[in-house]
Amino acid sequence: MPMTFAIVIMSLLNMIVFQSGMFHMIISAIVLLVFGALTIYDNQAYKIIYNNIQNNNEEIDRFTILGALHMYINFIAIFQSLLSLLGDR
């Protein structure tokens, strides 16, 4: 979580102060690495949670929705950073 705040602050600094294309590419690469690792970590955590609450259908439904939202946010961030790195400016 602190890493995501640092990414937001670096992006804002680049937009307002630096306005550098190279710094933007570096931020995009960092976002790609951070959210890729976060996706892997979340996936493992959801496997453990699912194995611990297999008998409670209500909890499974809640964690399924929560996990899907977290993964969706991770994939959107990864997709945006890939577009930023590989896209034409």
Neighbours of 74 (CB within 10 A): 20
pLDDT per residue rounded down to tens, the chain (89 residues): 788 899 999 999 999 999 999 999 999 999 999 999 999 999 999 999 999 998 888 899 999 999 999 999 999 999 999 999 998 76
End-to-end Cα spacing for the chain: 30
Q: How many CA atoms lie within 13 A of 55 on its CB side?
A: 0
Q: What is the pLDDT of residue 88?
A: 75
Return the pLDDT at 89: 61
Domain total in the chain: 1
- Read off the pTM: 0.86
Q: Quickly tell me which residue has 């996990």 as its tokens.
A: 67
User: 29: domain range?
Assistant: 2-86
What region, left, alpha or beta, does residue 55 occupy, with left being phi > 0 and alpha being psi -120 to 50 degrees? alpha
